[in-house]
Amino acid sequence: MSKIVSFIGEKGGVGKSTNAHATAHGLTMLGIPAAYVMTDNRELLSDEERVYSIIDGRTVPQLEQAVATAKQTEGNGIFVIDGGGNRGAVDSLIASISDVIILPFTADDDSVYVVAREMAQFPSAWALPSNWPTNSKAAVVDAGYIEKLEANYPGRLLAPTPATHAIRDLVLQTFNGSLLPPAQRYCRNLARKVCDVLK
């Protein structure tokens, strides 16, 4: 039976789609079969040049079929669901069928406020500091956001994923299958974090 890892959360622009794609890409780099399940009502991306499959889960029947496929698939594959933003009912549905729930957030007051509320709503979820500053001075300042969440939800924060513009290629319809080395490292590191949580 394949596992299901979901990136959900009310806040838009925090990296759900990018990190879901990066996880699926990184898992395949680690030798783990992966599929990305799109639930947001946008254009379905092609998987022709990708090392992972893209599954259409934009309607409830399509999502149910994707979940059924995951449950029936033999081996150690992982289905990565991109929950989209501002859809509380959909988030609750996705959370109910997930083995791991990840809530990305960025270094700003509003994002931290929202993810703190969602950590309470989904007691088994993990928060992911996403697109985190690489500037050392900014990182020191923004570490306060992580400390604040860690104090309220100890042991439920993943290590920050540092910002890299190269990773954005994954969410393009024109993605040609190749990533620059910083983006490759990003994908592998994120996939390893997901595998650690699954263990």
% the chain with pLDDT above 70: 99
Q: What is the 3-state secondary structure (H, E, C) of 29-68?
A: HCCCCEEEEECCCCCCCCCCCCCCEEEECCCHHHHHHHHH
The per-residue pLDDT for range 96-139, each reduced to its tens digit, is 999 999 999 999 999 999 999 999 999 999 999 998 888 888 88
Rounded CA gap, 94 and 101, in Å?
A: 9
E strand spans, the chain: 3-7, 34-38, 53-56, 78-82, 100-105, 126-129
Q: Which two tokens stand for residue 21?
A: 């794609």
Beta pairing partners, 55: 37
pLDDT, one tens digit per residue, over 138-150 is 888 899 999 999 9
Residue 57's pLDDT is: 92
**What mean pLDDT do residues 44-62 have?**
92
Of the candidates 114, 162, 122, the residue with the CA atom closest to the CA atom of residue 142: 162
Contact partners, residue 173, CB within 8 Å, separation at least 6: 43, 45, 46
Tokens of 144: 């306060």
Is pLDDT at 166 greater than 80 in this prediction? Answer: yes
**Residue at token pair 């992972």:** 52
Residue position matching structure tokens 């898992």: 27
According to the model, what pLDDT value does residue 165 have? 84
With cut-offs at 50, 70 and 90, classify the pLDDT of residue 94: very high
Residue at 147: amino acid letter:
E
The pTM is what?
0.94
Listed range (67-71, 155-159, 182-186, 190-194) with the worst mean pLDDT: 67-71
Tell whether domain 3-198 is in CATH 3.40.50.300: yes
Three-class SS state of 128:
strand
Residue 73: pLDDT band by 50, 70, 90 thresholds? confident
Kindly list the domain boundaries of the chain, sorted by start residue: 3-198
Q: What is the mean pLDDT of residues 177-183?
A: 91
Q: Are 88 and 10 in contact, with CB atoms under 8 Å apart?
A: yes
